[in-house]
C-alpha cells in the first residue's frame, strides 16, 4: 500500500560530498538506488524541487535537472497538481533486511476461527474516544511526567477495586503493576520468580505453547502437566518438582473446562507444601453463560497467587493494557523488571481506561458483547450438533472459544489443511500440546467464535464437516 504523505512527505535522506564530483550526479544516483531497492515505493511522492533544494543546500535548478533526468529514464512520473511520484518499476528482486522474512502467499480466510480475538466490530470506540478526551482534559499536569514505575495510581485503584467486586479478589492498589498486556506481565512475573530461587514452572497440557518460550527466556525450566475434565491434574503437578504453575482456572485454554472445587483446594495445598506460586491467567472470566461466575484464585490464596489480566479479550488487543496483582514479596521485583525494560504504558491511555471502567461504560460494553457471544455460541452449538452429532463440543459455558472433538483416528492436520483450502482457518489441538506429553488427547479443533458472525459460523462448521468427511473417506 502506498503511503500518502501530506505536503510532499518528510525530508528525504540524501548525503552529498561536495568534494566528490557533480552534486547533480550524486543526487540522481542516490534517488535511483532508493527507487530500485524499493526504499521509495511506487506512487510515493517526492519533495517539491524547492523543498529538496533547501534541504540539500543546492540551487533549485539542480534539483529540477535531477527530476527531469529521472523522468526521462522512467524512474518517476509527474502530473500537474500531483507533483513528482515514484513510477511503478518492473518486477525484480526485492532486498530485505536480514531479519525480515517475506510471507508466503495464501488464500485469505473467509471464516477465521482464530482463538483469542474478540469482536473487533463491537469495540466501543466512541466510549474510548470519550475516555481519552476526558483523560486529556482532566489528568493533572504532574501526571504528564514520568509515571510511578508501578503504573498510574488511579488505574491501579480502579483495577483492584474491579477485581475485588467482580472476581472476589482481595488485592489493593499497592499489589498492582500496570503492564502492556498479558505477555509482558507474565515475563516480568517469571523473571521475578527466578530471582526468588524458583527454577521450574509447570504449564497446562494442552495449553498455549508460547508460555514455554516465555518461561525459558526468564531462565525457568517448563514442564507439562496434563489437563482432564476437572482441570489441571494436581497429583501430576506434585510429581514434577515445580514450585510454580501457570494455569487458566476459570475457562481452561484450550479445552474450556473449569478447575473443579476440590482441585482448587488441592492446588492451594500444593503451593503451601512446596512454598510455591500459582500464576492465574484470568483472560476471559467476564464471559459466562450457563453457570455461576467462578471466583479468582487470588481471593482464595492471596499470599500464593499472582493474577494476570488485560483488556485484550474484553476491549481489543490494540489497547495494550494489562495488570499484574502480586503478593507484596513479589511486587517490588516485578516493578523493577518493568522499570529496567520499558518506560511503561502511556499514561493518558491508563487514565482513559480508569475513567472508562469508573464511568460504567466498560461494564455496559461487557454486557452487550456477552449477549453477542451468547448468540454466536448458540449457533455454533446447534451447527456442530447438526454436523457432527451430540456431545462433540465442549467448553461452551464461558469464554469465546470451544473445543470440537473429532471422530477417533481423524487427522487434525489434514482437516485443518483441507479447511484452509476452502477458506476456513482453524487450529488443531496439536498446536497446544506439549511435545513431551505422555497421554495424547483425542483429535480436536479449537474454535474461536469471538470475531466471526453467525453466518460465518454456519458456513465454517459446514466446511469443517466436509473436510472431516473428505479426510475420513480418503483414509478409508
For the four alpha carbons of 40, 42, 44 and 50, in that order, the dihedral sign comes to positive
pLDDT average, residue stretch 391-413 = 90
Flag whether pLDDT at 370 surpasses 60: yes
Give span(s): CATH 3.40.640.10, the chain. Answer: 123-359
- Return the percentage of the chain with pLDDT > 90, whole number: 64
Determine the pLDDT at residue 441. Answer: 53
CATH of 6-86, one of 1.10.10.10, 2.40.50.140, 3.40.50.720, 1.20.120.450: 1.10.10.10
pLDDT digits (tens, 9 = 90+) for 410-458: 889 999 999 999 999 999 999 999 864 433 458 999 999 999 999 999 9
pLDDT average, residue stretch 84-111 = 61
Q: Quote the mean pLDDT of the chain.
A: 88
Domain 123-359 sits in CATH at 3.40.640.10
Higher pLDDT, 346 or 268: 268
Mention the CATH class of domain 111-118+363-475. Answer: alpha beta
- CB distance 394 to 402 below 8 Å: yes
Determine the straight-line distance between the first and last CA of the chain, rounded to whole angstroms.
47
- Return the percentage of the chain with pLDDT > 70, whole number: 91
pLDDT average, residue stretch 254-267 = 93
Give span(s): CATH 1.10.10.10, the chain. Answer: 6-86
pLDDT digits (tens, 9 = 90+) for 150-205: 999 999 999 999 999 888 899 999 999 999 999 999 999 999 999 999 999 999 99
Determine the pLDDT at residue 361. Answer: 94
406: Cβ contacts below 8 Å, ≥ 6 apart: 388, 392, 412, 415, 442, 443, 444, 445, 468
Cross-sheet strand order for the sheet of 221-228:
176-179, 322-325, 305-310, 277-281, 244-247, 200-205, 221-228, 231-232
CA distance 292 to 325: 23
CA distance 224 to 175: 29
> Nearest CA to 323 among 298, 303, 359?
298
Give span(s): CATH 3.90.1150.10, the chain. Answer: 111-118+363-475
What are the two backbone dihedrals, phi and then psi, of residue 371, each rounded to the nearest 5 degrees?
A: -70, -35
Determine the pLDDT at residue 436. Answer: 45
CA distance 231 to 292: 17
What grid cell was written down for 59? 540551487
Q: What does the DSSP assignment read for 434-472? A: -TT-SSPPPPEEEEE-TTS-HHHHHHHHHHHHHHHHHHH
- CB distance 56 to 16 below 8 Å: yes
What grid cell was written down for 468? 472431516
Amino acid at each position: 500500500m502506498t503511503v500518502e504523505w501530506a505536503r510532499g512527505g518528510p525530508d528525504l535522506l540524501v548525503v552529498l560530498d561536495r568534494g566528490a564530483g557533480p552534486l547533480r550526479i550524486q543526487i540522481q544516483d542516490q534517488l535511483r538506488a532508493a527507487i530500485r531497492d524499493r526504499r521509495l515505493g511506487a506512487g510515493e511522492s517526492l519533495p517539491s524541487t524547492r523543498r529538496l533544494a533547501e534541504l540539500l543546500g543546492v540551487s533549485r535548478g539542480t534539483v529540477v535537472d535531477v527530476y527531469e533526468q529521472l523522468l526521462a529514464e522512467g524512474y518517476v512520473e509527474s502530473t500537474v497538481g500531483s507533483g513528482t511520484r515514484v513510477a511503478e518499476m518492473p518486477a525484480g528482486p526485492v532486498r530485505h533486511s536480514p531479519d525480515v522474512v517475506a510471507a508466503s502467499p495464501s488464500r485469505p480466510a473467509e471464516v477465521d476461527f482464530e482463538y483469542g480475538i474478540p469482536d473487533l466490530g463491537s469495540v466501543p470506540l466512541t466510549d474510548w474516544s470519550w475516555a481519552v478526551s476526558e483523560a486529556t482534559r482532566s489528568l493533572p499536569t504532574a501526571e504528564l511526567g514520568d509515571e510511578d514505575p508501578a503504573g498510574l495510581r488511579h488505574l491501579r485503584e480502579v483495577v483492584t477495586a474491579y477485581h475485588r467486586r467482580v472476581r472476589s479478589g482481595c488485592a489493593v492498589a499497592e499489589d498492582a503493576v500496570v503492564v502492556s498486556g498479558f505477555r509482558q506481565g507474565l515475563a516480568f512475573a517469571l523473571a521475578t520468580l527466578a530471582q526468588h530461587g524458583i527454577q521450574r514452572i509447570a504449564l497446562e497440557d494442552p495449553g498455549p505453547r508460547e508460555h514455554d518460550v516465555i518461561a525459558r527466556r526468564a531462565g525457568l525450566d517448563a514442564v507439562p502437566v496434563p489437563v482432564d475434565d476437572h482441570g489441571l491434574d494436581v497429583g501430576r503437578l506434585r510429581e514434577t518438582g515445580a514450585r510454580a504453575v501457570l494455569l487458566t482456572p476459570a475457562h481452561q485454554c484450550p479445552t474450556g473446562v473449569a478447575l473443579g472445587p476440590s482441585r482448587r483446594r488441592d492446588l492451594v495445598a500444593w503451593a503451601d507444601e512446596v512454598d510455591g506460586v500459582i500464576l492465574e491467567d484470568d483472560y476471559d472470566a467476564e464471559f459466562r453463560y450457563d453457570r455461576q461466575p467462578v471466583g479468582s484464585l487470588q481471593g482464595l490464596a492471596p499470599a500464593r497467587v499472582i493474577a494476570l489480566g488485560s483488556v485484550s479479550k474484553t476491549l481489543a488487543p490494540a489497547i495494550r493494557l494489562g495488570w499484574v496483582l502480586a503478593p507484596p514479596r513479589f511486587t517490588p521485583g516485578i516493578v523493577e523488571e518493568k522499570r529496567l525494560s520499558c518506560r511503561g504504558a502511556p499514561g493518558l491511555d491508563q487514565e482513559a481506561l480508569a475513567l472508562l471502567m469508573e464511568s460504567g461504560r466498560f461494564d455496559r460494553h461487557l454486557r452487550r458483547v456477552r449477549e453477542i457471544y451468547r448468540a454466536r455460541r448458540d449457533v455454533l452449538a446447534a451447527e456442530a450438533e447438526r454436523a457432527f452429532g451430540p456431545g462433540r463440543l465442549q467448553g461452551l459455558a464461558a469464554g469465546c472459544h470451544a473445543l470440537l472433538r473429532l471422530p477417533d483416528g481423524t487427522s487434525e492436520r489434514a482437516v485443518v489443511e483441507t479447511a484452509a483450502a476452502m477458506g476456513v482457518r482453524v487450529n488443531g489441538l496439536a498446536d497446544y500440546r506439549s511435545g513431551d506429553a505422555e497421554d495424547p488427547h483425542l483429535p480436536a479443533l479449537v474454535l474461536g467464535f469471538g470475531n466471526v458472525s453467525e453466518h460465518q459460523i454456519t458456513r465454517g462448521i459446514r466446511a469443517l464437516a466436509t473436510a472431516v468427511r473428505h479426510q475420513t473417506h480418503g483414509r478409508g
